[in-house]
Structure 1
Amino acid sequence: MSVAGWTLDFAPLLGWGLVVGLLVLALLAAAFAWWRGLRGWGWRLAAGLAAAAAMAGPMLETGVRRGLSDIVLLVEDHSASQSLPGRAAQLAAASEAMAAQIAARPDTELRRVTLGDDPDGTLLGDAITRALAAEPESRLAGVIVITDGQVHDPAALPAKAPAPVHVLLTGQEGDWDRRLVIEESPGFGLIGQPVTLRLRVEDQGAVPDAVAGRAATLRLSLDGGDEQTVAIPPGMPLDIQVTPEHPGQNVVALALDPPDAGPPQLTELNDRAVVRIEGVRDRLRVLLVSGEPHPGGRVWRNILKSDTNVDLVHFTILRPPDKMDGVPVDELALIAFPTEALFHDRIGDFDLIIFDRYRVRGILPPQYFDNIRRYVQGGGALLVASGPEMAGVESLHLSPLGAILPARPTGRFLDAPFRPQLTDAGRRHPVTAALPGAPGGGGAPWGRWLRMGEVVADPGAEVLMTGEGDHPLLIAGRAGAGRVALLTSDQVWLWGRGFEGGGPQAELLRRVAHWSMKEPDLEEETLSVSVTDGATLAITRHTMDDAIGPVRITRPDGSTATLVLEPEGAGRFSGRFPAPAPGLYRLAEGGLTRVVAVGPAAPREFEQTVADSTALEPLVAATQGAVLPLSEGVPDLRTVAVGRQAHGQGIARPWIAITPRGAEAVEGLAVRPLLPAWAWLVLIAGLALAAWLAEGGRLGSRRSEVSGVQR
């Protein structure tokens, strides 16, 4: 409704200082006239006041004022913790009841603010601050917040508000919950070395007597393996050791068994946790045994020494036994080389042994080669780069190592230039797949090599590269639990020198060495998964086969699903699976398994699940609002004057109040001077003339004459 009205405003002509000065001068002049007994002092004062008023520039504002409705904010917390038993129904009922009561009030508008999930938790402080800033302060009559009190940004809460803030708390009085807390967990761990996790079980809320103080049963598994069980008393930290078993991510799954007595807890989501430990190797220990000197003799040494994570022991034969120059053996070196320690006592300390153009000439006894064979079969790694010696009687193939090498020499050595080529298996195998400049890849062709040995690959070995006449050039094989790689040419150094354009020498040799040491990224058969776009599993399967089966996915609740992966190239299949809920997912295909956690290790929304208004109480108290549990019912809504207590207890149930603001908007404003300038001039002149006449006696005598006539 619009109402017409007027107001008086001022616009000083020469500033308020001159107006005040003129007013003071008028008062002093009138006081002096009164003190002297002059009869016109009153007229003099009136003239001075009129002059001061004229200089103040009084303006009459006439306009139409329209009353504005009040605004009530209804903030609804729909975060994940509100999905706990009973809370969603309380939230819906309270929201509709409050909205109906507000809508029933005249000249009152409702602003509903909905707060959802956020990776950082319930950002209720930010939501309230933004909602207050979006509305004019003069119209805000109240704020009603329906929440469980879990605020993860308390610093963002405003210190006060222009209207009462009320909190309606979801949850029940008897709510309780048990939570698994990860106090300490390392992000990295050495493979094969135990690391320590520090855990604690925390009970919250009204813990039933049947559960209070009783130990909880914890189940622990690494990468989906066999479970271990541990008893943990509530409130007492417990250290548990786990051992990373492989490079890359090792996933430790932890879960508490539900209590076997008392009423159920609020949720089991915070009874589980996932710890990701990145398995890293300690410094890699490599033993390089160099035989006959040749132009590429320093290739392996340079590559290995350039890697700061590699500890290299280099055993080099500079003078073969058949070179008789008369120099005593004990004078050939400054120190005696510890062959027995390397090849007998400490051989198991090495991650990789490399033989580069080594001839069997009696320097190393046969039992040392037998030790190397057992080392490989027990899980070690061996790499042989051979030259012309492999076609003769001094070949390593004729030593005890011949039993584990992946190919057999024919006795021929081919002195003919050739360009290395990838086989079908080589295009799939991670050691040689996508090598820079690979044939058929569209890049510059690889340079040629000049010679190679002729071998026959074992049936179980993988030929990755071929040379002259399609004879095997690079062969990868397995021996027991270990791995063996064989390079049948000593010409790889030509690539490093840029001969005819060169080739990826360093990358090839690095991949061969790391594949031998079982680097996860270079495995032929792998199942990998990562979490993208918040909650989508990106699954990739590498294989040497042409086809694979569907991936079986086990969800956190135990239900299963299958996903057919689509081919993406030689030996590569991929697919995407939307995860319906946070938790631990297990994937399996072709004997390979993988475990991945979706969402945070311990969701922040469920760290504290029992309703608690502590964070909001200072704001509520500062605005004379109230905190009321919805378990006792939805309160009534009333109105009170600004500054009064805005809550109380009614006959049937408690009540909360809003404060009507009575805000107005001005429409059609018109401004005009109170008097025109000539009227002010006439008024001031008239009052001054009256003062003069009174002081001269004329005004008084005229009145006396009139009075005498009348008498």
Structure 2
Amino acid sequence: MTGQIMFDPLVPVWVLIALAVLCALGVSVALWRGLSGWAYRGLAGLVILAALAGPVLQSEDRAALSDIVLMLVDQSASQKLADRAERTEAAAETLAASIAGRENTELRRINVPDGPGDTGTEMMAALAEAMAQEPRGRIAGVIALSDGIAHDMERVPDVPAPFHLLHTGKESDWDRRLSVTNAPAFAILGEPVTLTLRIDDTGSAPVAEDGRAPLEISVDGGEPDSYMVPVGRDIELPVTLPHGGRNVIQFVVPEASGELTDRNNAALVQINGVRDRLRVLLVSGEPHPGGRTWRNLLKSDASVDLVHFTILRPPEKQDGVPVSELSLIAFPTRELFLEKIEDFDLIVFDRYQRRGILPSIYLENVARYVRDGGAVLVAAGPDYATADSLYRSPLSMVLPASPTARVLDETYVPKVSEAGQRHPVTAGLPDQDHWGPWLRQVDVNPDAGTVLMTGFEERPLLVLNRVDQGRVALLASDHAWLWARGYQGGGPQLELLRRLAHWLMGEPELEEEALWAEATGQSMRIIRRSLSEDVGAVTITTPSGDIAEVPMAEVSPGRFEAFYDGPEIGLYRLRNGEEEAVIGLGPAAPREFVETIASDAVLAGLIEARDGGSFALEDGLPSVRNVREGRPAAGRGWIGLTPREAYETLDIARTPLLPAWAVLLLTGLMIVTGWLREGRR
């Protein structure tokens, strides 16, 4: 029970002031005139003014409230290193028992797990949420059991009590960390790209031999190459990508004896390999309405360097024109087809027939070029059905279909075959039910490869094949240009020919047999493209060597997908039949393992601002004592809590100090006494 005097005026304050002024003037006049009762009249005025001020005695019935101590228990990934988790839990239990034994004190335990994704330890967010659930006037202190690494210090709340850190590190802790500080997302094939790496030893690390440490580098999960590299400074490493598409490069520093963890000893870098320029040789034979089709297509692609020769005048034409004037420039056949043929990514023969311009030895070299990894496309017209056909040359060894000598001048609408529905060159071509017709087709018999499109009476129209390391395609019609002109609705001529050219040049996205995965956090979407109707399950090897079988489901013709949640961060190997792929899950450098040495450096500002302290658990658990607010709350072997003396008011009672009868009695007594005093005089 407590009491205090309060005022509850019966009239506005300005009225009280005005009455007080009038009373003072009246008493002054009485004093000036020498009236002996002026003092009693003044006392009467004071009694009236005091009564109007409404003095009351307020009594409160209070119930004391306990102090609240917030204990933050860090349970993030970095707290699971060595024996930190066990020491933290033991200290939390001991501290909880100590605070429970204190009079009028309650403990609130807040577990702080890993933040979502790779956000690290969100200790301040957990503290702010806990403080929002408790009255600020009851919080006597905050104690954090942690390694001291918080990743959301920008969200520090206004802590109204001492903040203490009991960190879980040891003096002997040390760790070795690998980081990739510079890695481009794309690189040009055949040109070295520079990656910047760094190996750092932190904590009480032993001195590395010769200041160097081992480093292993592997590409796409292959056998690693080992090197000795310097510790504590940036390492510039030139890397040349082995293939187009995604290249997964893994860097690993073998675990050293005594270091805290090897979780930060590896880094994955995923770089997409792209070609700088694609060189295409286009040889056009007899002129025809679609002669510019291939040229326009290839010139529209900024990544293609096109070398184009058109044979406008056959050698057998005899009109007396000197040989030196038959062309603007000489056709450098020897240079192109013998000396520099390997420089081209694709050779296109557009309605070309043998006329003695390219000797058989040149065409034989083209066939060898295909077997060694080159690509040839034959866009055939009636020339392919004649005795001078390219098929009647050494090039027949790699061509996928032989001519029957028939040219079909019939109207037909090209159709995508069943295999073509699954092949990325022709799969999903738009508006297949509204394509316009073509008017000519060369009749061929497919000898090898895959028929992607058919024409008149379902005869082969587009045939693709792989020959050793190279690729070859035959388009048995010279009327693709009708689609470009919009004849009877046209068709996707540009898209079809673009896909065809890029498949021949080895575009990874157009591979008909392919396996790859796309990562989102710790999940991956596995994609398998195949011409087969069933591909079975994908075998996944985790970073730790565990094996998982994931069945694939067909989502569209030739495309199979599955989803898999990776249990750990690192490099995963995928295998399905002859196809293999690798993918890295999780961040290249998990935030929880960037800094693993326990320290109070991050929380130092908050600790100092709230007069708290920092202690190592390996030195023992400090005692807990009370300190007054504003005083240092930590010392040698002890931490302080500030008693808040909070209370809850149960009842309030108000008693007037001047009852009405007392006011009337005192006022009358003073006035009568003053009157009598003046009457005697």
C-alpha distance in structure 1 between counterparts of 2:15 and 2:450, whole Å: 104
C-alpha distance in structure 1 between counterparts of 2:61 and 2:656, whole Å: 18
C-alpha distance in structure 2 between counterparts of 1:37 and 1:628, whole Å: 79
Residue 697 (structure 1) aligned with residue 678 (structure 2): yes
C-alpha distance in structure 2 between counterparts of 1:436 and 1:320, whole Å: 39
Q: What is the identity percentage for the equivalent residue pairs of Structure 1 and Structure 2?
A: 49
Displacement after TM superposition at 1:477 (Å): 1.0
Displacement after TM superposition at 1:681 (Å): 7.8
Question: Residues 14-48 of structure 1: CA distance to partner in whole angstroms, max 9, x if unpaired?
Answer: 34x66556657766876887798765554455455
Question: Residues 548-579 of structure 1: CA distance to partner in whole angstroms, max 9, x if unpaired?
Answer: 45433222123333334344454433333321
Change (3 A) 1:628 1:400: same
Residue 128 (structure 1) aligned with residue 115 (structure 2): no
Question: Residues 160-187 of structure 1: CA distance to partner in whole angstroms, max 9, x if unpaired?
Answer: 5211111111122211111112122222
Displacement after TM superposition at 1:286 (Å): 2.4
C-alpha distance in structure 2 between counterparts of 1:19 and 1:309, whole Å: 93
Query: Counterpart of 1:372 in structure 2: which amino acid?
Result: V
Displacement after TM superposition at 1:497 (Å): 3.2
Aligned to 1:597: 584
C-alpha distance in structure 2 between counterparts of 1:136 and 1:33, whole Å: 59
Q: Give the counterpart of 1:66 among 49, 63, 66.
A: 63
Query: Counterpart of 2:424 in structure 1: which amino acid?
Result: P
> Counterpart of 2:631 in 1: which secondary structure?
coil
Aligned to 1:432: 426
Change (3 A) 1:615 1:212: farther
Further displaced range: 36-45 or 60-69: 36-45
Q: Give the counterpart of 2:161 among 148, 163, 172.
A: 163
Question: Residues 387-437 of structure 1: CA distance to partner in whole angstroms, max 9, x if unpaired?
Answer: 111001232222332222111112111122223233332222221222223
Aligned to 2:278: 284
Question: Is the Cα–Cα contact under 8 Å of residues 200 and 232 in structure 1 kept in the other structure?
Answer: no
Displacement after TM superposition at 1:237 (Å): 2.0
Question: Is the Cα–Cα contact under 8 Å of residues 58 and 673 in structure 1 kept in the other structure?
Answer: yes
Displacement after TM superposition at 1:151 (Å): 1.7
Aligned to 1:217: 214
When normalised by structure 1's length, the TM-score is 0.87
Change (3 A) 1:679 1:546: same
Aligned to 2:564: 577
Q: Give the counterpart of 2:398 among 386, 404, 410.
A: 404
Aligned to 1:552: 539
Change (3 A) 1:48 1:485: farther
Change (3 A) 1:493 1:692: farther
Question: Residues 662-699 of structure 1: CA distance to partner in whole angstroms, max 9, x if unpaired?
Answer: 222334556687657x67984896487369538x723x
Change (3 A) 1:475 1:8: same
Residue 117 (structure 1) aligned with residue 135 (structure 2): no
Question: Is the Cα–Cα contact under 8 Å of residues 251 and 277 in structure 1 kept in the other structure?
Answer: yes
Displacement after TM superposition at 1:238 (Å): 1.7
Aligned to 1:704: none
Structural mapping, 1:496-511, within 5 Å = 496-511=484-499
C-alpha distance in structure 2 between counterparts of 1:163 and 1:92, whole Å: 24
Structural mapping, 1:45-444, within 5 Å = 45-47=42-44, 49-50=46-47, 52-53=49-50, 56=53, 58=55, 61=58, 63-118=60-115, 119-158=118-157, 161-208=159-206, 211=208, 214-259=211-256, 263-323=257-317, 341-438=335-432, 444=433
Displacement after TM superposition at 1:273 (Å): 0.7
When normalised by structure 2's length, the TM-score is 0.91
> Counterpart of 2:301 in 1: which secondary structure?
coil
Displacement after TM superposition at 1:364 (Å): 3.9
Displacement after TM superposition at 1:374 (Å): 3.3
Displacement after TM superposition at 1:329 (Å): 5.8
Question: Is the Cα–Cα contact under 8 Å of residues 44 and 671 in structure 2 kept in the other structure?
Answer: no
Question: Is the Cα–Cα contact under 8 Å of residues 51 and 684 in structure 1 kept in the other structure?
Answer: no
Question: Is the Cα–Cα contact under 8 Å of residues 285 and 350 in structure 2 kept in the other structure?
Answer: yes
Residue 450 (structure 1) aligned with residue 439 (structure 2): yes
Question: Is the Cα–Cα contact under 8 Å of residues 150 and 611 in structure 1 kept in the other structure?
Answer: yes
> Counterpart of 2:99 in 1: which secondary structure?
helix
Further displaced range: 84-93 or 317-326: 317-326
Displacement after TM superposition at 1:625 (Å): 1.5
Question: Residues 454-481 of structure 1: CA distance to partner in whole angstroms, max 9, x if unpaired?
Answer: 112123x111122223321111112332
Change (3 A) 1:62 1:299: farther
> Counterpart of 2:90 in 1: which secondary structure?
helix
Question: Is the Cα–Cα contact under 8 Å of residues 361 and 394 in structure 1 kept in the other structure?
Answer: yes
Q: Give the counterpart of 1:657 among 622, 640, 645.
A: 640
C-alpha distance in structure 2 between counterparts of 1:59 and 1:328, whole Å: 130
Change (3 A) 1:114 1:45: farther
Unaligned stretches of 5+ in structure 2?
none
Question: Is the Cα–Cα contact under 8 Å of residues 40 and 690 in structure 1 kept in the other structure?
Answer: no
C-alpha distance in structure 2 between counterparts of 1:328 and 1:684, whole Å: 145
Displacement after TM superposition at 1:580 (Å): 1.4
Displacement after TM superposition at 1:445 (Å): 4.2
Further displaced range: 586-595 or 570-579: 570-579
Unaligned stretches of 5+ in structure 1?
439-443, 702-711
Change (3 A) 1:194 1:6: same
Displacement after TM superposition at 1:115 (Å): 1.7
C-alpha distance in structure 2 between counterparts of 1:345 and 1:21, whole Å: 116
Change (3 A) 1:349 1:670: farther
Aligned to 2:459: 471
C-alpha distance in structure 2 between counterparts of 1:411 and 1:450, whole Å: 17
Further displaced range: 247-256 or 134-143: 134-143
C-alpha distance in structure 1 between counterparts of 2:190 and 2:21, whole Å: 96
Question: Is the Cα–Cα contact under 8 Å of residues 177 and 610 in structure 1 kept in the other structure?
Answer: yes
Displacement after TM superposition at 1:528 (Å): 1.0
C-alpha distance in structure 2 between counterparts of 1:4 and 1:287, whole Å: 102
C-alpha distance in structure 2 between counterparts of 1:339 and 1:30, whole Å: 131
Change (3 A) 1:509 1:25: farther
Change (3 A) 1:655 1:362: same
Question: Residues 258-312 of structure 1: CA distance to partner in whole angstroms, max 9, x if unpaired?
Answer: 23xxx51100111111111121221323232222222222322333333333333
Displacement after TM superposition at 1:57 (Å): 5.1
Question: Is the Cα–Cα contact under 8 Å of residues 516 and 582 in structure 2 kept in the other structure?
Answer: no
> Counterpart of 1:174 in 2: which secondary structure?
coil
Query: Counterpart of 2:124 in structure 1: which amino acid?
Result: G
Aligned to 2:622: 635
Change (3 A) 1:292 1:37: farther
C-alpha distance in structure 2 between counterparts of 1:680 and 1:526, whole Å: 104
> Counterpart of 2:497 in 1: which secondary structure?
helix
> Counterpart of 1:634 in 2: which secondary structure?
coil
Further displaced range: 561-570 or 298-307: 561-570
> Counterpart of 2:270 in 1: which secondary structure?
strand
Further displaced range: 87-96 or 349-358: 349-358
Displacement after TM superposition at 1:218 (Å): 0.4
> Counterpart of 1:506 in 2: which secondary structure?
helix
Further displaced range: 134-143 or 557-566: 557-566
Question: Is the Cα–Cα contact under 8 Å of residues 7 and 53 in structure 2 kept in the other structure?
Answer: no
Question: Is the Cα–Cα contact under 8 Å of residues 216 and 227 in structure 2 kept in the other structure?
Answer: yes
